[in-house]
Structure 1
Amino acid sequence: MTGCDSCSSDKIATATKQQKRVLIIVLLINATMFVVEFIAGMLSHSTALMADSLDMLADALVYALGLFALNRASHWKNRAALTSGIFQMTLGLGILIQPIYLISTNTMPDALSMGVFGVLALIANTVCFFLLMAYRDGDINMRATWICTRNDMINNVGVLIAAGLVYWLSSPLPDIIIGLIIAVIVMRSAWGVIKEAKTELV
Structure 2
Amino acid sequence: MHQHQVSGKRFGGVTLLNAVITVVEILGGIFSGSLSLLSDAMHNLSDTISIAIGYGAQIISQRPENSKRTYGYQRAQILAALFNAALLVLIAVVLIIEAIQRFQHPEKIDGPLMLVVAVIGLIANFVSMFLLNAGKDTSLNIKATYLHLLSDTLSSVAVIIGALVLTFTDAEWVDPLLTIIVALYIAYEAWPIIKTTFNILMQTSPAVNYDEIERDLLAIDGICHVHHLHAWMIDEHHNSMSLHINCDDIRLSEAEQIYQQVDQLLKNKYQIDHVTIQAECYRGRHERLFNPDSDQF
Per-residue deviation, residues 150-200 of structure 1 (Å, max 9, x unmatched): 000000100010011122331111111111111111111111222233344
Structure 1: give runs of 5+ residues left out of the alignment.
1-12
Q: Distance in 1 between matches of 2:4 and 2:199?
A: 24
1:64 counterpart letter in structure 2 = A
1:48 counterpart letter in structure 2 = S
1:78 corresponding residue in structure 2? 78
Q: When you count helix as a share of all residues, which structure comes out higher?
A: 1
Instruction: Work out whether 1:60 is the aligned partner of 2:61.
Output: no
Moved over 6 A (4+): none
Q: Distance in 1 between matches of 2:42 and 2:31?
A: 15
Q: 1:136 to 1:195 in 2, by over 3 A?
A: farther
Q: When you count strand as a share of all residues, which structure comes out higher?
A: 2
Deviation at 1:78, TM superposition (A): 1.6
1:141 corresponding residue in structure 2? 141
More off after superposition, 139-148 vs 126-135 = 139-148
Q: TM-score, normalised by structure 2?
A: 0.60
Q: Which has the larger radius of gyration?
A: 2
**When the two structures are aligned, how many residues end up with a matched partner?**
190
Deviation at 1:119, TM superposition (A): 0.3
Tell whether the 8 Å contact from 1:37 to 1:52 is kept in structure 2 after alignment: yes
2:114 counterpart letter in structure 1 = M
Q: 1:22 to 1:138 in 2, by over 3 A?
A: same
SS, match of residue 52 in structure 1:
helix
Tell whether the 8 Å contact from 1:162 to 1:175 is kept in structure 2 after alignment: yes
Q: TM-score, normalised by structure 1?
A: 0.87
Deviation at 1:138, TM superposition (A): 5.0
1:4 corresponding residue in structure 2? none
2:34 counterpart letter in structure 1 = S
Q: Percent identity?
A: 27
Higher relative contact order (CA 8 A, sep 6+): 1
Deviation at 1:97, TM superposition (A): 1.5
Q: Distance in 2 between matches of 1:36 and 1:106?
A: 23
Q: 1:53 to 1:127 in 2, by over 3 A?
A: same
1:182 counterpart letter in structure 2 = V
Q: Distance in 2 between matches of 1:76 and 1:124?
A: 29
Q: 1:15 to 1:198 in 2, by over 3 A?
A: farther
Instruction: Work out whether 1:22 is the aligned partner of 2:32.
Output: no
1:180 corresponding residue in structure 2? 180
2:92 corresponding residue in structure 1? 92
1:110 corresponding residue in structure 2? 110
Within-5 A mapping of 1:33-72: 33-72=21-60
Q: Distance in 2 between matches of 1:138 and 1:150?
A: 18
Q: Distance in 2 between matches of 1:80 and 1:111?
A: 37
More off after superposition, 68-77 vs 18-27 = 68-77
Tell whether the 8 Å contact from 1:58 to 1:87 is kept in structure 2 after alignment: yes
Per-residue deviation, residues 43-63 of structure 1 (Å, max 9, x unmatched): 111011000000010000011
Structure 2: give runs of 5+ residues left out of the alignment.
62-73, 204-297
Tell whether the 8 Å contact from 2:100 to 2:176 is kept in structure 1 after alignment: no
2:158 counterpart letter in structure 1 = G
Deviation at 1:140, TM superposition (A): 4.9
Q: Distance in 2 between matches of 1:119 and 1:189?
A: 23
Q: Distance in 2 between matches of 1:183 and 1:136?
A: 26
**Backbone CA RMSD of aligned residues:** 1.7
